[in-house]
Amino acid sequence: MTRIDATFARLRAEGRKAFVSYIMGGDPDQATSLAVMKGLPAAGVDIIELGMPFTDPMADGPTIQLAGQRALEAGMTMDRVLDMVRDFRAGDATTPIVLMGYYNPIYSRGVDRFLAEATEAGIDGLIVVDLPPEEDDELCIPAQKAGINFIRLATPTTDDRRLPKVLQNTSGFVYYVSITGITGAAAAQATDVGPEVARIKAKTDLPVIVGFGITTPEAARAIASVADGCVVGSAIVKDIGAGKPVAEVLANVAALAKGAHSA
């Protein structure tokens, strides 16, 4: 059982929904990013998604694109992302960490090397948005063999014919993208999301977590009420990009988490 599996088992036992947060590794610099990361569990975050900065983030809107640019300009590398995880793990052995990003930095590093280092650092899952199920032999299958969950995205355009392929080798949880388009582009609506989550849950026993377009505690509560939890990314990254103090960033995260947990 991975940390992700254990977290969902605990939340189910407690009758609570999951609150997942996303931050970009190294935004606006490694020290600030690590301080935010270390404060997330106490703010109510159940699972941390840590972005791997990349020069061509095609699925991301301006907020997260700019976060990646800030991180890269501050000298962030894959080595430093993994160092952040190691530093976090020195004080927290239980909160799951999911690396999220694109395949190019992993491919250029070498899959075997990357998976060995990710496992050693304490990574629990991967979300790689530009690797479709047809490419599972590239990274998904090796990651699962290494004990790392491979989390797949389902979207409003994932029809009933495509869904079984998407779910085929997914583990940990299913990430349902609530809107069509890039991150931070529109507001998610529970009335639209609920039937889609039910459709996915009819085909899998995995938890379904909803992300994209969730920016307020009220939205977090509404979306979590029709799913197993929600993901907030752009709203947190926007606070970081605005230069808000770490304490203020974490206070806003705590409000969002409270919304999700009250669902």
Domain boundaries, the chain: 3-261
Q: Is 117 a catalytic residue?
A: no
Nearest Cα residue to 74 out of 40, 117, 25, 116: 25
Tokens 């907020």 correspond to what residue?
63
Q: What is the pLDDT of residue 59?
A: 79
Q: What is the pLDDT of residue 61?
A: 85
- Choosing from 27, 46, 60, 239, which is the catalytic residue? 60
- Choosing from 27, 49, 228, 239, which is the catalytic residue? 49
How does pLDDT run across 98-145, given as a tens digit for each residue? 999 999 999 999 999 999 999 999 999 999 999 999 999 999 999 999
pTM of this structure: 0.96
Q: Give me the residues of the chain with pLDDT under 50, please.
A: none
Contacts of 127 (CB under 8 A, 6+ apart): 49, 98, 99, 100, 101, 151, 153, 175
The CATH fold of domain 3-261? TIM Barrel (3.20.20)
Q: Parallel, antiparallel, or unpaired for β 153-154 and 149-150?
A: unpaired
Q: Is 14 a catalytic residue?
A: no
Q: What is the pLDDT of residue 185?
A: 56
